[in-house]
Chain A
Amino acid sequence: MNAAARAPKTGKAAHQQSLLALYRTIVLVREVEQALSRLFANGEVPGFIHLSLGQEAISAGVASALQPQDSLTTTHRGHGHVLARGIDVEGFFKEIMGRAGGLCKGRGGSMHVADLSLGILGANGIVGAGIPIALGSAIAHAARKTGGVAVAFFGDGAMAEGVLHETLNMAALWKAPLLLVCENNGWSEFSPTSRQFAAKLEALAAAFGMAYEQVDGNDVTAVAEAARGATEALRAGRGPFVLECITHRVRGHYEGDPQKYRDANELQGLAAKDPLARTRDQLAQAGVSAADTERIDQEVLARVEAAITAARADAPPAFEDAASDVYTPATQEATP
């Protein structure tokens, strides 16, 4: 987590430090996603993957507002969220490449990455399914008085799922410490969301009397500030909060998606909105030298390359280990 990003802006140095921490996270997500794109094209990633390229600022900004006791659920497009939360990069690559040392022992893959020790209750292969799971986690935070909040990341495609509407209602009724983060990239898989969802999320939040804020999801400073405000309100017991981050999906729904349904002009215009380039601009404006950002680029790249090397060297998981672990072994059973 980016502790520096949470520090109050008492001066130029603090501002530079928090912005650099956010930048480091954005670069990490960018490098990992680009590497996965190459690995997938090389046939080194089994199955299918959904990349969050172009949406990195949301992951970095929201994660910067979280504390160790907090929890989150994410989606099929969830690599950025778990990386920003601080997941082990080597274990992450091993999982997605189907290796024994993967965070989930190669049983879940890209759509099921989890690290319960970091409060990551899983990516999810079912659109919207993480939202009510995060609600349950928020209830647990309240019951256990952890002071924590639960975050449900979801895309605009999930706005049409019934469990979102059920969760908004229940979270509002119970004033649950639940932060609902919508990454609105305009696309519900292969269809524009304008053709899939008749309402606006803002109106939906208002219908349930819920706090709502919309931010430019490609502006990491704006996301971080909004997330900090939202989590502070949640920790103060002021009930659930909807944060809608407007962003753009740079890649297809899945890697290999030819995107014939998309207008070439839309894709060409995305470079000007690139969250990584915009963060670099913010760093330059804050007086950070190019040498400092390039050093971060190199450090992150080396970390990602080392993780990929380790993942390639790792063994595939053994079938027997998986088949014998469907239920909790008796030796691990907790007593009542």
Chain B
Amino acid sequence: MSAIEMRYAQAVAQALRDSLEADERVMVLGEDIAAAGGSFKATRGLLEAFGPQRVLDTPISEASIVSAAVGAALSGMRPVAEIMFMDFITLAMDALVNQAAKARFMFGGQGNVPMVLRTPHGGGLSAGPQHSQCLEAWLAHVPGLKVVCPATPQDAYSLLRAAIADPDPVIVVEHKGLYGQKGMVEPVVGRIGEARIVRPGGDLTLVSYGATVAICLQAAQALAADGAQAEVIDLRSIQPWDRATVLASLARTHRAVVVHEAVTAFGVGAEIAATLSDEGFDELDAPVLRVGAPFMPVPFASSLEKGYAVSVEAVLAAARKTLN
């Protein structure tokens, strides 16, 4: 199958379209996803193609949207729910944490919950404190949930197809700032839990996911000018995360910095740094460093958000500290 150039949002829509075509159990539901085509146009054209029974506009009722997805999944469907901004999952946490995550386990493995929740995180759009958060660490902390975070149009397609095919609940965290990004997309189903080495290098490992993968690549270019080769790893999947790939990279580079847009404290980077410090202790030539957001709400004004966001300079500073 040949690759086609498309935007990240189009790749999402294409993955939904292909999944709806491949499996009659797949249905899509969420606020303004059908007639309006989605806030970020990631579900455009699906209603016309598949009708209102499989592409369902819901009222603004996040708790019941996700709960209904759990019930539909337990009753033979493969629902893909959308929550318009990741900040709004706060309203659906019972459905995710107490219901979706636990049903398989607490029913003794009688069945499973093959549902997907798509939701965009991330700042950079002056969307303010309630429309910009990166809350993936909350979900990765819950046994029973899987969490993926595509950084490219290809992964937006492949990981969503994989999530829909997965027997367990998967949260696909997209990035609002990436929806317009163009890239070549092959219609292949990805594998959850496999990281990707975006740029090989032997002196330092930069581990990231989502929109900060691009920031790590920029930092790697600047480091190359200094004569240091950084290996950039895009985790793609946060729960489960690809320990083997990251530990193997550490065994080559002996230095690592974990970079993400989310708040640093108690975040994904803390889990990775702790694992590298434990399982990779003998390989380490320097402490594992983390680069993320400060411990504050995402601010609105551009000048404030610029100060809040992870910068190439911050990644470079951490990398140089690790290399010294």
Contact = CB atoms under 8 A, between A and B. Distances in A.
A163 B167 contact: no
A136 B70 contact: yes
Contact of A140 (B72, B103, B105, B110): B72
A105 B54 CA distance: 35
B241 to A, nearest CB: 14
Contact of B67 (A116, A135, A150, A325): A135
A71 interface: yes
A104 B110 contact: yes
A94 to B, nearest CB: 10
A122 B71 CA distance: 10
Given A136-B70, A140-B71, A328 B167 contact: yes
B14 to A, nearest CB: 15
Contacts of A139: 27, 56, 68, 71-72, 77
Interface in A160-175: 162-163, 166-167, 169-170, 173-174
A166 B71 contact: no
Interface stretch (B92-100, B123-131, B299-307): B92-100
B59 A112 contact: no
A24 to B, nearest CB: 26
A140 B63 contact: no
A327 B144 contact: yes
A82 interface: no
A291 interface: no
B196 to A, nearest CB: 21
B167 A326 contact: no
Contact of A328 (B59, B76, B112): B112
Interface in B194-245: none
Nearest to A169: B59
Interface size bucket, A side?
35 or more
B94 A126 contact: yes
Contacts of B144: 326-327
B120 interface: no
B193 to A, nearest CB: 11
B166 interface: yes
B188 interface: no
B180 interface: no
B136 interface: no
Interface in A179-195: none
Interface in B62-109: 63-64, 67-77, 79, 94-95, 98-99, 103-109
A231 interface: no
B107 A114 contact: yes
B64 A325 contact: no
Contacts of B70: 133, 136
A121 B71 contact: yes
B75 A129 contact: no
A332 interface: yes
B297 interface: no
B124 to A, nearest CB: 32
Interface string A34-53: 00000000000000000000
Contact of A322 (B53, B79, B105, B161): B105
A325 B74 contact: no
Given A170-B61, A326-B144, A336-B161, A133 B71 contact: yes
Contact of A136 (B19, B25, B61, B73): B73
A103 B98 contact: no
B64 A137 contact: no
A105 B109 contact: yes
A321 to B, nearest CB: 9
B164 interface: yes
A144 B139 CA distance: 30
Interface string A296-336: 00000000000000000000000000100111100011111
Contacts of A95: 108
Contacts of A106: 108
Contact of A334 (B105, B107, B143, B167): B167
Contacts of B168: 327-328
Contacts of B77: 139-140, 143-144
A321 B94 CA distance: 26
A163 B114 CA distance: 22
Contacts of A115: 110
A234 B188 CA distance: 42
A209 interface: no
Contacts of A144: 25, 75-77
A117 B106 CA distance: 15
A80 interface: no
A325 B104 contact: yes
A136 B108 contact: no
B135 interface: no
B200 to A, nearest CB: 29
Contacts of B61: 166, 169-170
A137 B161 CA distance: 23
6 contacts: A104-B106, A116-B107, A121-B71, A139-B71, A166-B61, A325-B104
Pairs of residues from A and B, 3 with the lowest C-beta to C-beta distance, nearest first = A136-B71, A132-B67, A136-B68
Interface of B: 19, 22-23, 25, 27, 53-54, 56, 58-59, 61, 63-64, 67-77, 79, 94-95, 98-99, 103-112, 114, 143-144, 146, 161, 164-168, 189
Given A73-B71, A103-B108, 19 more contacts: A116-B111, A129-B98, A135-B67, A136-B68, A136-B71, A136-B75, A139-B72, A140-B72, A140-B77, A142-B53, A163-B63, A163-B64, A163-B67, A169-B59, A322-B105, A325-B104, A327-B168, A334-B167, A336-B23
